[in-house]
A = this chain, B = another copy of it.
Amino acid sequence: MELNTKCCLQLPAWVEPFVASRQGPLSTTSERMQLAIDLAGENVRQGTGGPFGALVVNEANGELVALGVNLVTSSGLSIAHAEIVALTLAQASVGEWNLSHGDPLQLVTSCEPCAMCFGAVPWSGIKSLVCGARKKDAEAAGFDEGDKPGHWVRSLQRRGIVVQCSVLRDQAAAVLASYREGGGTIYNAGNTGDDPK
- Which A residues lie at the B interface, using CB under 8 A? 1-11, 15-16, 63-67, 72-73, 75-80, 84, 87-93, 95-100, 114-120, 122-125, 144, 146-152, 155, 158-160, 187-195
Assess the B122–A119 pair: CB atoms within 8 A.
no
Establish whether residues B4 and A92, one from each chain, have CB atoms under 8 Å apart when the complex forms. Answer: yes
**Residue contact A144 to B119, C-beta cutoff 8 Å:** no
Chain copies in complex: 2
Are B190 and A159 closer than 8 Å at their CB atoms?
yes
Mind listing 21 A-B residue pairs with CB under 8 Å?
A3-B16, A3-B89, A4-B66, A4-B89, A5-B15, A6-B10, A7-B88, A76-B95, A76-B96, A78-B97, A79-B84, A79-B120, A79-B123, A97-B187, A99-B189, A115-B115, A115-B118, A115-B119, A119-B120, A122-B188, A125-B190
B8 touches A7 (CB 8 A): yes
B2 x A93 contact (CB < 8 A): yes
* Closest B residue, CB atoms, query A187: B97
Q: What is the distance, in angstroms, from A89's C-beta to the closest C-beta of chain B?
A: 5
In contact, A152 and B158 (Cβ under 8 angstroms) = no
Query: Are B5 and A7 in contact, with the CB atoms below 8 A?
Result: no
Assembled-state Cα–Cα distance A114/B51 (Å): 26
Closest to A81 in B: B123
Instruction: Please measure, in the bound complex, the distance between the C-alpha atom of A1 and the C-alpha atom of B124, giving whole angstroms.
Output: 19
Complex: A1 Cα to B102 Cα, angstroms: 13
CB closest chain-B residue, reference A10: B6
- A21 to nearest B CB, angstroms? 14
Please measure, in the bound complex, the distance between the C-alpha atom of A92 and the C-alpha atom of B9, giving whole angstroms: 11
In the complex, the chain B residue whose C-beta lies closest to that of A150 is: B149
Check if A91 sits within 8 Å of B76, measured CB to CB: yes
8 Å CB contact of A97 from B9, B76, B95: B76
Candidate in A16, A148, A192 with the most chain B CB atoms within 10 angstroms: A148
